[in-house]
């Protein structure tokens, strides 16, 4: 009799697991891949003839490309908070990268600006139901690897809905660099010289293998958030040489920089170190895609690729150019906010499809909920909408996208707020109240300001922008009573006549045959004693 009951119990357990597996087939797995500081044209499939990204290109080729895809901010922390919360930056109040000085502390940066940046929230608010928390409620196993930068300890990935956190913590950059040993309390050093992007991919693959729905009966949500291609830019000697030779073969421009309002801005893609860093990240993406193929999970796994803000054309390492877009990370122009934005949905993506509807990082949250068969949470993802109707050939109503940045970017951007509705983009500047208006359907490079020609459109968009900012209680920059026009002029003179020639000189040194960083290529060359 005892054996009989054991037999019945075993059958019930098998039936239970079988039912779980059957249920999980209705819920797709999700692999969300986020690059850091990768520009709109930093991929082969987005027009670069210098960088090589075959694995990321594969996501675009097999998925859907959103040609008007945007990050929710021009810098990292605000953009990442918007992905997690589905809220525009003015609403969640993380309006600049966490750690940036505000108020009078800004003077320590010696930028000599007219305004003092606004105060802001320094941790992702705990009262929010984040995207991973909402997916956990639907039975998903959640995993995070890489850059977090949404608060100090107590506000790390494991505090906001991720079951597993590998490498996510307070820092916004890869402390210790891109080759082990890393300086990261949540990432164990395993082998000196190991590449950081490759390691994060390996950890992601390990999670997928262990949490294969065929074994667990539960879908998974894997969030791979690269530190690449954030500064400091580093690569191997082999990759440097590959891209150094390629730059020479393509023809090295005599001049690479033009002066912006505050800083020089890079105009060409020919940095061989940055190119190698991009390729290392692409190789890491390939590891994850190969694992999905090998495990037979590709047909039930959504894959997303995007970036948190534009490529660094000024400030940091002056790494890349976002042309034909204007400027880059930290700026109010398209180069600062428009991103590669690819979504591959098995059964819905036809491969290489392009959708022109303007979308934002806030839209991933409600889109994933609908794909998971869950109810929307409009009181959480207030500013995001599900994009699923677009994949079904349906239309979505025109809606505004809003950006709020009452700060000065490290890269030279100005305190400003932006609204895009349809093809129109309005920028309001807080230094002097001026406004710029662009028709992005005809002027992607934002060369022609149409504000004077369309005053009614300016008034209409400005009202909609500030109605929203008032509704959510947005904070603003304030005039600095210690502002010195003379010091500001001295700073600008130094940037144009000292910094810019120095950058041109450094660029040619990177492209010289005998370039040597003199530190074993940032630790990528490990010698055995």
Q: What is the pLDDT of residues 297-348, one digit of tens each?
A: 999 999 999 999 999 999 989 999 999 999 999 999 999 999 999 999 999 9
Tens of pLDDT, residues 47-89: 999 999 999 999 999 999 999 999 999 999 999 999 999 999 9
Please give the pLDDT value at position 16: 44
456: in domain: yes
Confirm whether 11 is domain-assigned: no
Structure confidence at residue 21 as a pLDDT band (50, 70, 90) = very low
Residue 415: predicted pLDDT: 98
Whether omega for the bond prior to residue 229 falls within 30 degrees of 0, making it cis, is yes
Which tokens go with 351?
């491969």
Residue 26: pLDDT band (50, 70, 90) is confident
Average pLDDT of the segment spanning 94-106: 97
Number of domains in the chain: 1
Kind and range of the H or E run holding 32 = strand 29-35
Report if residue 13 sits inside a domain. Answer: no
Is 8 domain-assigned? no
| Residue 20: inside a domain | no
pLDDT-above-90 percentage for the chain: 93
Range of 277's domain? 29-524
Q: Decide if 411 is inside a domain.
A: yes
Provide the whole-model pTM: 0.94
pLDDT at residue 20 above 70? no
- Total residues belonging to the chain: 529
Average model confidence (pLDDT) for the chain?
95
- Give a yes or no: residue 428 inside a domain: yes
How many other CB atoms are found less than 10 A from the CB of residue 54?
15
Residue 250 lies in a domain: yes
Confidence of residue 25 (pLDDT cuts 50, 70, 90): low
Q: 268 is written with which tokens?
A: 């060409």
Q: How far apart are CA 164 and CA 17, in angstroms?
A: 23
Report the pLDDT value the prediction gives residue 24, as an integer from 0 to 100: 42
CATH of the domain at 451: 3.40.720.10
Residue 288 and residue 64 in contact, taking contact as beta carbons nearer than 8 Å: no
> Smallest Cα–Cα separation from 369: which of 385, 355, 345?
385
């Amino acid at each position: 009799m005892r054996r009989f009951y054991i037999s019945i119990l075993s059958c019930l357990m098998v039936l239970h697991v079988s039912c779980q597996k059957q249920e999980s087939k209705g819920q797709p797995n999700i692999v969300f891949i986020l690059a850091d500081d990768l520009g709109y044209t930093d991929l082969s499939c987005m027009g670069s003839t210098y960088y090589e990204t075959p694995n990321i290109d594969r996501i675009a080729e097999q998925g859907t490309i959103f040609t008007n895809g945007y990050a929710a901010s021009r810098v990292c922390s605000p953009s990442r908070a918007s992905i997690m919360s589905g809220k525009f930056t003015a609403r969640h109040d993380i309006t600049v990268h966490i750690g940036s000085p505000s108020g009078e502390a800004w003077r320590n940066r010696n930028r000599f600006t007219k305004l003092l940046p606004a105060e802001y929230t320094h941790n992702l608010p705990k009262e929010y139901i984040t995207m991973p928390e909402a997916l956990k409620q639907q039975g998903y196993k959640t995993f995070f690897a890489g850059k977090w930068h949404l608060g100090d300890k107590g506000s790390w990935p494991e505090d906001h809905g991720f079951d597993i956190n590998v490498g996510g913590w307070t820092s916004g950059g890869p402390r210790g660099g891109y080759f082990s040993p890393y300086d990261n309390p949540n990432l164990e050093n395993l082998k000196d010289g190991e590449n950081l992007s490759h390691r994060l991919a390996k950890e992601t693959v390990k999670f997928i293998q262990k949490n294969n729905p065929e074994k667990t009966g539960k879908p998974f949500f894997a969030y791979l958030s690269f530190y690449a291609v954030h500064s400091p830019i580093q690569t191997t000697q082999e990759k440097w040489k590959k891209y150094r030779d390629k730059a020479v073969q393509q023809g090295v421009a005599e001049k690479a920089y033009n002066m912006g309002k505050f800083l020089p801005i890079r105009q060409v893609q020919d940095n061989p170190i940055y190119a190698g860093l991009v390729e290392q990240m692409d190789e890491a993406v390939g590891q994850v895609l190969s694992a999905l193929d090998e495990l037979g999970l590709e047909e039930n796994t959504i894959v997303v690729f995007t970036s948190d803000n534009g490529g660094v054309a000024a400030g940091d390492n002056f790494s890349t150019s976002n042309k034909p877009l204007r400027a880059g990370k930290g700026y109010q122009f398209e180069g600062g906010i428009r991103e590669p934005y690819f979504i591959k949905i098995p059964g819905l993506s036809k491969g290489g499809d392009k959708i022109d509807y303007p979308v934002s990082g806030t839209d991933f949250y409600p889109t994933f909920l609908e794909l998971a068969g869950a109810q929307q949470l409009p009181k959480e993802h207030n500013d995001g909408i599900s994009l699923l109707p677009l994949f079904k050939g349906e239309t979505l109503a025109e809606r505004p996208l809003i950006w709020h940045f009452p700060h000065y970017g490290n890269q030279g951007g100005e305190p400003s707020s932006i609204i895009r509705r349809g093809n129109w983009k309005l920028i309001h500047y807080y230094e002097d109240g001026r406004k710029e208006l662009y028709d992005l359907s005809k002027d992607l490079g934002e060369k022609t300001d149409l504000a004077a020609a369309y005053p009614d459109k300016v008034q209409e968009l400005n009202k909609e922008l500030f109605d929203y900012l008032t509704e959510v209680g947005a904070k603003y920059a304030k005039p600095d009573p210690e502002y010195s026009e003379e010091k500001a002029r001295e700073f600008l003179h130094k940037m144009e006549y000292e910094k810019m020639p120095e950058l041109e000189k450094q660029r040619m040194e990177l492209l010289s045959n005998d370039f040597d960083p003199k530190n074993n290529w940032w630790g990528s060359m490990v010698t055995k004693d």
